[in-house]
Homo-oligomer: A and B are copies of this chain.
Amino acid sequence: MADISPFAPKRFPRLPKIAGLRLGGVACGIKANMRSDLMVCVLDPSARVAGMFTRSATAGPTVRWCRDAVRDGAVRAIVVNSGNANVFTGRAGARDVAATAVTAARALGCGPGEIMVSSTGVIGERLPISKLTAALPGLVAAAEAGAWQAAAEAIRTTDTFPKAAGARARIGGVAVNIAGIAKGSGMIAPDMATMLAYVFTDAKIPAPALRVLLAEACQASFNAITVDGDTSTSDTVLLVATGAGRGHRRITRAGDPALADFRAKLGAVMTDLAHQIVGDGEGLSKFITITVTGAASDRAAKAIALSVANSPLVKTAVAGEDANWGRIVMAVGKAGERVDPQRLAIKLGGVRITERGAARPSYREAPVARHMKGRRIRIDIGAGIKGARGRATVWTCDLTHGYISINADYRS
C-alpha cells in the first residue's frame, strides 16, 4: 500500500445532512483482507438523478446500465462495489449488473431501473456476484443518514484517503445542502476518468434541470483534471436531488436565476472533489495548477493546458523540482492549437520567464527554483493570440517513481 498522499486532508470533512438519503459501506469479500468494498446510497422516492459517464468505446456494463436507468430521472439506490471493475466480462458481466439491481430493488420494493450500479477495480475478471448479492440486502437495511465516511471508504481502490466535500447553498432564500463523495487516483483524464463521484442535495430539482447543472459543473471540475491521460471504462458522476429538504420555491429549469448560489456551491463541491482526486494522484509529490489565457477559444485553451498537464516530460521535470520551462514550450507546441511564439508568456510560480520568443534578459532562476521546491506548482501560459480571450484552468500532479511502483505491480 502506498503512503498516504501529502495532500490528504487532516481528517474526514464534516458534511451537511442530506434529508432523504441513507448511506452505508461494508466488506462483502471482493477485496482481500476484509477491506470495505460495497457501498449503498438509499434514496427517498422523491429523489431525481442526472448522470455523466465515460466516453470510452469499451465502457463497462455498469455504465451501459446507468445510461439507460438515469433516463427517466427516478432513483431509489446507488450500489457501488470496489475491487473489481466488472468490465469486459461479456454477457455474464451484464447479468451481474442486473442481478445487483434486482437484489437492491427487491430490498426496497422498487423497480430495478431505479437502481444505479457502478464498479471499480481490475478490468476483465468476473465479479464474485454471489458475495455481493448476499451482503446487499443487509447493507440496504443498515444504511443510515450521515454515514459518509463508511460510504467513501467502500468505493476506494488505489486511493490513499477517502474523498468527500459539502456546502450549503440558498435557493430563493431557503437553505439547502450539498454533499458528495468520490474516488479516483489513477486512470484519470478528462471526459471522466477512473473516477466515481456521487453528489447529493436535499433541494427539489427536476431531472432535466439537474442534467444541465451537472454537465456545466463537470466542465470545470471532473473534466478539468488529469493524472495520467488514461480514461477509464467505468467513470460515472451522478447528481441526485432528494427533494426532501426544506421547501424552497419551485424550480423547473436550470436557467432559473434563483439557482445562482446553488450553481456556484455545486461547482465548488465538485471542484473540491476533483482536486482531492488529483491530490491523491498515484505517487504524486506535487499538485499542479495550469492556467492558459489568450488562446483562440476556451476549448483551445483547455487543449493547450491538457497538453502540458499530460506531458511526461513536464511532469517529471516538476517531480525533479527542475525549472525546465523549455519543456512547457515543447508541450504548448505539440497541442495542435494556435499560439504566437513571439508573444507566448510562460510563468512559473507567478514569475514571468519568456518574452519575444526567448527567456527574458532579466530572468533569474533562483525564485522559480524556490517555487519548484514547494508542494503546489503554478504554471501560467499566455498563448499570445492577439485580441483572443480563450481561457481554461486544469489541475494535475507530477509523475514520480511512486506512479511506476504502484502501476507496475498493481495486480500482484
Interchain nearest-CB distance for A385 vs B (Å): 11
Interface hub of A189, A334, A336, A359 (most chain B Cβ within 10 A): A334
Q: Is the CB of B358 within 8 A of A88?
A: yes
Q: Is the CB of B356 within 8 A of A90?
A: yes
Question: Which of A174-182, A237-245, A317-325 lies at the interface?
Answer: A317-325
Taking CB atoms, residues of chain B closer than 8 Å to A319 are 404, 408
Taking CB atoms, residues of chain B closer than 8 Å to A124 are 325-326, 329, 354, 358-359
Interchain nearest-CB distance for A104 vs B (Å): 24
Q: Is the CB of B409 within 8 A of A322?
A: yes
Interchain nearest-CB distance for A390 vs B (Å): 15
Residue A327, interface by CB 8 Å:
yes
Residue A357, interface by CB 8 Å:
yes
- Give the CA-CA distance A407 to B187 in the complex, in Å: 22
- Give the CA-CA distance A66 to B32 in the complex, in Å: 60
Residue A153, interface by CB 8 Å:
no
Q: Is the CB of A56 within 8 A of B324?
A: no
Indicate which residue in B56, B189, B330 contacts A230 across the interface (CB closer than 8 Å).
B330
- Give the CA-CA distance A132 to B252 in the complex, in Å: 72
Question: Which of A138-146, A212-220, A338-346 lies at the interface?
Answer: A338-346
Given contacts A329-B87, A341-B58, contact A317 B404 (CB under 8 A): no
Q: Is the CB of A92 within 8 A of B404?
A: no
Taking CB atoms, residues of chain B closer than 8 Å to A89 are 357-359
A187 to B, closest residue via Cβ? B313
Residue A332, interface by CB 8 Å:
yes
Residue A65, interface by CB 8 Å:
no
Taking CB atoms, residues of chain B closer than 8 Å to A408 are 316-317, 319-320, 322, 400
Known: A89-B359, A187-B330, A320-B407. 4 other contacts (CB 8 A): A124-B326, A124-B354, A320-B409, A324-B411
The residues of A with any CB-CB pair to B shorter than 8 Å are 54-59, 85, 87-93, 122-125, 186-187, 189, 228-233, 310-313, 316-317, 319-320, 322, 324-327, 329-339, 341, 344, 354, 356-359, 399-401, 403-405, 407-412
